[in-house]
Structure 1
Amino acid sequence: MENTRCAWVGKDQIYIDYHDNEWGKPVYDDKILFEFLVLESFQAGLSWITILKKRENFRKAFANFDVEKIANFTEDDVEKLVLDEGIIRHRGKINAAINNAKLFIELQKEHESFSNFIWKYVNHQPIVNNWNSIKEVPATTEISDQIAKDLKKIGFKFFGSTTIYAHMQATGMVNDHTKDCFCK
């Protein structure tokens, strides 16, 4: 008997693995939180499966998501990334990743970790929703609106409320597995 999963998963093994092993599981590790921030910012306007299929290429192109290294990327690095067919070659998003890395480091210093900063929005506890169907799952919430507003004020790029809510789902700040999902 096969496990019942959230309706968005489909049959693609990369989606199945992501859903079963990562999506909705709380992440407090700054390195992983940063990885998801980079990936989510590149996802804006694209499907998540596109990003997942390029994840290893992103990992190589973006120094294994080492925030310090990315914060120090130069214009030469940007030019190499724009030519890298393994990633999304969007100059604005590449520059945003570098900008956001610098701001991420500032938030780490100010709050002892980025995890402390981001998780405070949910009182350091995952929000566990009880959706009957994927149709009930929102694209944004008041909390994602606030985080997006605060990050924009700090200077983060490519982080609207929808992207932030996706980040919250990916890192387990919210658990949006539907009631029938075995991961619930």
Structure 2
Amino acid sequence: MDTGIVIGEDQLARPAWAATDPMMREYYDLEWGMPVRDEHGVFERLSLEAFQSGLSWATILRKRENFREAFANFDPDTVQGFGEDKVEELLGNAGIIRNRAKILATIKNARATIELRKDGGLADFVWSFKPVQTPTPLTMADIPTTSPESLALSNALKKRGFSFVGPTTMYALMEALGIVDTHLVQSHRRGTSGVWPV
């Protein structure tokens, strides 16, 4: 059975996507799947997941610092005030993904994030969709791309005025935030978030 696991020169087991590129390996080892429970952190990752739609995560990760600079470090209070002049400026910024719909969605989502503060905030809202159990994938093929919870989260966010929050994108967000643990069972990262038992 091909699990998709690669043993690195450091003798640690990782999935193939995180095994060779140093940037991806560092992201996998230190960040992906670790709990993020603050508004700023969740808004940034929600924004980047939306920009990633249809693209590779490596593309987004390489541009993350450019995104942070372009979007005021993903401060919702600043981003919600971006007007047409700022949109045009962003469309001319080769350091980010120049997609008008995704840029406008990020601004719209900043406004929706601020509105959600009345009901406990974005982070608590997203985490409230944590499932009862997490997958235990043995191979890459075992990892889901959606779940009933990601569909419910998608629908709930849309009702709250968010865009580019489809169920697949929301499942990727839940993985990134540690709400689910989809690390392969053999991976050295499995169970390291503290959210789920090993």
The alignment's TM-score, normalised by the length of structure 2, stands at 0.87
Identify which of 135, 143, 146 aligns with 1:137: 143
Native 8 Å contact 1:62 1:70 kept in 2: yes
- Could you tell me how far apart the structure 2 residues matched to 1:148 and 1:85 are? 30
Find out whether 1:101 has 2:101 as its counterpart.
no
- Could you tell me how far apart the structure 2 residues matched to 1:15 and 1:74 are? 34
Find out whether 1:35 has 2:21 as its counterpart.
no
1:54-80 per-position Cα deviation (integer Å, ceiling 9, x unaligned): 000000000011110001111111010
Task: Report how far residue 29 of structure 1 moved.
Answer: 1.4
Uncovered stretches (5+) of structure 2, i.e. residues with no partner = 1-9, 191-198
Uncovered stretches (5+) of structure 1, i.e. residues with no partner = none
Letter in 2 for 1:120: S
- Could you tell me how far apart the structure 2 residues matched to 1:49 and 1:55 are? 10
Identify which of 108, 116, 139 aligns with 2:124: 116
- Could you tell me how far apart the structure 2 residues matched to 1:109 and 1:49 are? 35
Greater RCO (CA < 8 Å, at least 6 residues apart): 1
Task: Report how far residue 109 of structure 1 moved.
Answer: 2.3
Native 8 Å contact 1:7 1:134 kept in 2: no
Runs of 4+ in 1 over 2 A off after TM superposition: none
Aligned to 1:12: 21
Native 8 Å contact 1:4 1:180 kept in 2: yes
Task: Report how far residue 40 of structure 1 moved.
Answer: 0.5
Task: Report how far residue 153 of structure 1 moved.
Answer: 2.0
Matches within 5 A, 1:65-80: 65-80=74-89
Identical pairs, percent:
44
Structure number with the higher helix fraction is 1
- Could you tell me how far apart the structure 2 residues matched to 1:96 and 1:178 are? 32
Identify which of 165, 173, 178 aligns with 1:159: 165
1:53-110 per-position Cα deviation (integer Å, ceiling 9, x unaligned): 0000000000011110001111111010000000000011000000000001111222
- Secondary structure at the residue paired with 1:122? coil
RMSD value over aligned CA atoms?
A: 1.3
Letter in 2 for 1:130: T
Q: Structure 1 stretch 17-26 or stretch 94-103: which is displaced more?
A: 17-26
Identify which of 56, 70, 85 aligns with 1:61: 70
Identify which of 167, 170, 176 aligns with 2:176: 170
Task: Report how far residue 26 of structure 1 moved.
Answer: 1.2
- Could you tell me how far apart the structure 2 residues matched to 1:64 and 1:153 are? 26
